[in-house]
Amino acid sequence: MNPQVFGKEHLTYVIICVVAAVLICVLSKIFAKTEKAQQIVVRCAGGVLFAIIFANRLALVFEHENANWLKIITDSFCSTSSYVFSIAALFGKKDNSVLHFLWFVCLAGGLITTFYPNFIGQHPSFMYPPTILGMLHHTFSAVVSILILMFGWVKPSIKRWKATIIGMLAYLSYGAFLMCVLGYGNPFYMTKPAIDGTPFTAWVIIPIYLVVHTGIVLVFEFVRKRKQKKLCNNQQAAEQN
């Protein structure tokens, strides 16, 4: 029997990854005290993510007897985001616009796919390279998102929200190029849903994503302003005393 969502292989993977992710984040928090150390952690995490997603694409290139080098080109939200996110973490500056665009794409996409990977039944072995590497790049992209939030490499702000709109428009333009020029059939789920039998094409996914992302950014804004107000009040009270 092929691996199944919530089957023993999948649940074992989830448990191992959750434990590993917690250890990575806790140890990073404990030992990466300086900004330089935090930068090293983020850069290394970006490098690991790039290696995983590149290995995943190579596995897809050589999945069949005749190598298909077009498979090296990503054509989905998650795979493209893992590539771009890894490069932005590896070479980009702190608080850059690409990180602002992709931190929630990778966090949400990574967690959803880790817990509901609808592609794991593609082969009898869970360790089939396209399967396990696909799982790993989704999971680790979520870990990188947590690290950059934890170290303040991204501070979600409504002022930087435009990066999300620009990024999504860039994805749709790239998807149109793949479909019209390279002959891809369903880049970024533009013509067929991500999950069969659902309405989740790009034209449904993106509006839902924008609403959820905006809500979360507003929560970050609210919490940050409350902290600033509380700090200001404490300072005024201290001055009066």
> Which pLDDT does position 101 carry in this prediction?
96
What is the average per-residue pLDDT within 94-120?
95
pLDDT tens digit sequence for 131-151: 999 999 999 999 999 999 999
- pLDDT value at 231 more than 80: no
> Which pLDDT does position 230 carry in this prediction?
78
What is the average per-residue pLDDT within 87-99?
95
- pLDDT value at 162 more than 80: yes
Letter for the amino acid at 39?
Q
What predicted TM-score, i.e. pTM, was given to this entire model?
0.92
| C-alpha distances out from residue 132 to 55, 121, 138, 151, 189, Å | 11, 11, 10, 28, 22
- pLDDT value at 233 more than 80: no
Q: Who contacts 110 (Cβ-Cβ below 8 Å, separation ≥6)?
A: 78, 138, 139, 140, 141, 142, 143, 145
Q: In this prediction, what percent of the chain has a pLDDT beyond 70?
A: 98
- pLDDT value at 195 more than 80: yes
Q: Who contacts 215 (Cβ-Cβ below 8 Å, separation ≥6)?
A: none
CA distance 195 to 104: 20
Q: Which of 39-43, 68-72, 107-111, 162-166 has the lowest mean pLDDT?
A: 68-72
Q: How confident is the model at residue 241 (pLDDT cuts 50, 70, 90)?
A: low
Q: Name which of 76, 63, 56 is nearest 179 in CA terms.
A: 76
Nearest-5° angle of CA 172, CA 174, CA 175? 60
Q: Name which of 135, 34, 47 is nearest 86 in CA terms.
A: 47
DSSP string across 9-70: HHHHHHHHHHHHHHHHHHHHHHH--SHHHHHHHHHHHHHHHHHHHHHHHHHHHTSSSS--GG
What is the average per-residue pLDDT within 147-167?
94
> Which pLDDT does position 89 carry in this prediction?
96
CA distance 223 to 17: 29
